[in-house]
Chain A
Amino acid sequence: MTEFVTRFGSLKDFDKGHIEIINDNPKYYVFSNVFEVANGAKPYEKVAVAKNLEYVIEAIRAEGTSGWMAASHDEFCIVMDGQVDIEFVKLDNPDAVAPASKEGTVAVQGEPKGKRMGSIRLGHGHQALLPKGAAYRFSSAGTSVMVQQSILGDLTVQKWGEICYS
């Protein structure tokens, strides 16, 4: 019986694919690699690797402890490499931090005001809900890589020309 080996990428070991143009423009495919992007990113910089109108997927280099963040809508993160801890605080006044009219991740000024909800430790391939109404912050003992599902916001960094095939 065949022994299958499932290949996941990592910060230290990834192999980027390619585009073979027949009659097209490579820029149309907005092709990047989340590990390569994380390699060139500052800790917790939220670099957009995919964008569909207002929605984004951000690649994040998790290293040390992040600032507190929140959003007026659910967000999700998936660990692509390493291990990430998330702490959560139920905001007493979520609208004051991230009003309903505001989309995307917002930075919480100072310490979040509210009750501690607990924590989640994510390993490789694990996904967490970053629920609306809660502030959260990440920490990683080593260097990890996450992707986050969110909406284009003040913290989103767009540097397509640097990260994509052209």
Chain B
Amino acid sequence: MNAIAEKIPATVAGYKTFELGGFTFLRDEYFVTITWPVKDRRQSHTMSADAFLRALMRDVAWGFFYGVVNFDHVFGTRNLYGKVEFFGGRLNEHYHNNGLSYVEVFDTPRAMKLIKEILADWCNEGFDPFAAPLETGDAAFGEKHGNNLKAIDRFRVATRRMPGLDGDSPLRGDDNGYAINRAFADVAQDKPVIKAEPGFEGELHAFNLFAYLSRSDVTWNPSVTSVCKNSLFCPTTEEYILPIIHGNDRVEWFLQFSDEIMWNITDKETGRPRARVLMKAGDVAAMPADIAHQGFSKKRSMLLVWENGNPGIVKMHESGEIPPYPVTF
């Protein structure tokens, strides 16, 4: 433990204080304060506790995801697949150019263990970091009161081919605890009609994807619903703000299934604003490999996130073998 870290109290407002390498993490009634070493002092950074916990929940749920998970314009993580980089100020040109950025690489299991401990200790009873603010209220704040281990330890949907196939991930219904979300009460729940000839009952398969999405109990949490080699359809339901600013390490695509989302696009390396993209139902757009994006969904909406899971793709972008844009026209 270094001299600075020794100065931070073991608990504040009932919440434990944590360290990971050169980083310290402290939460109080409203805020999370992160510090890291720079030059001859420590740089500090403050985030709202609910925003920090929503972002941390995505890092836990997605195993640090593809590329960069910016918690905000200063702090975040970058997945090195097997290892993970935590950074302060690295992707903010003002911090970085002034020597105030800091990067440290950890083995993924060590970092994951620590962030799960933070999440477990800092999420109060009644605060669900996967839920929209109108669903979970202001329970994130105040002195530590209880916990919400059930919310942060949800079943991770792992689909190999398509939900509902024999031996694959389950469909969603009232019977297994997936009620229709309040914002999707008007979404039809009818089913495809499958007429299989004898002997082919297990081979023909279809389901109501929109009904399945209407029963999602989480926001901003893509999960796979169809797999064509490395092509992964990862639809998700979105309400309020994407808790992270996602920095792409590959091209990602969006197809807006319902309602609308506004996206703020920034340069991945510098954080400079580049564009705003408004997507409405039926719209398709690419998120290039050199940008970061954050979405705003005023009503819970259905978004198809389309990923290419090819593990070689990051090196292809880094070496310049392929451009950051998917199509030239």
Contacts and interface: CB of A to CB of B under 8 A. Distances in A.
B62 interface: no
Interface in A12-69: 14-24, 26-36, 49-53, 55, 57, 59
A19 B277 CA distance: 4
B300 interface: yes
A126 B253 contact: no
Contact of A29 (B185, B191, B200, B277): B277
Interface string A129-154: 10100100000000000010111000
Contacts of B162: 76, 127, 129
Contact of B329 (A9, A16, A24, A164): A164
A118 B194 contact: yes
A76 B232 CA distance: 11
A127 B197 contact: no
B237 to A, nearest CB: 11
B275 interface: yes
B240 to A, nearest CB: 14
Interface string B309-321: 0100100000000
A117 B204 contact: yes
A9 B251 CA distance: 25
Contacts of A9: 280-282
Contacts, number: 242
Contacts of B277: 17-20, 29, 31
A104 B242 CA distance: 34
A149 B284 contact: no
Contacts of A74: 161, 226-228
Interface string B270-301: 00111111111111111110000000000110
14 contacts: A6-B186, A6-B214, A7-B258, A9-B280, A18-B278, A20-B275, A21-B274, A28-B288, A53-B308, A118-B197, A120-B206, A127-B226, A129-B165, A149-B231
Interface of A: 1-2, 4-9, 14-24, 26-36, 49-53, 55, 57, 59, 73-76, 78, 80, 88, 90, 115-129, 131, 134, 147, 149-151, 158, 160-161, 164, 166
Interface of B: 161-162, 165, 182-188, 190-197, 199-200, 203-211, 214, 225-231, 233, 250-251, 253, 255-260, 265, 272-288, 299-300, 302, 306, 308, 310, 313, 322, 324-327, 329
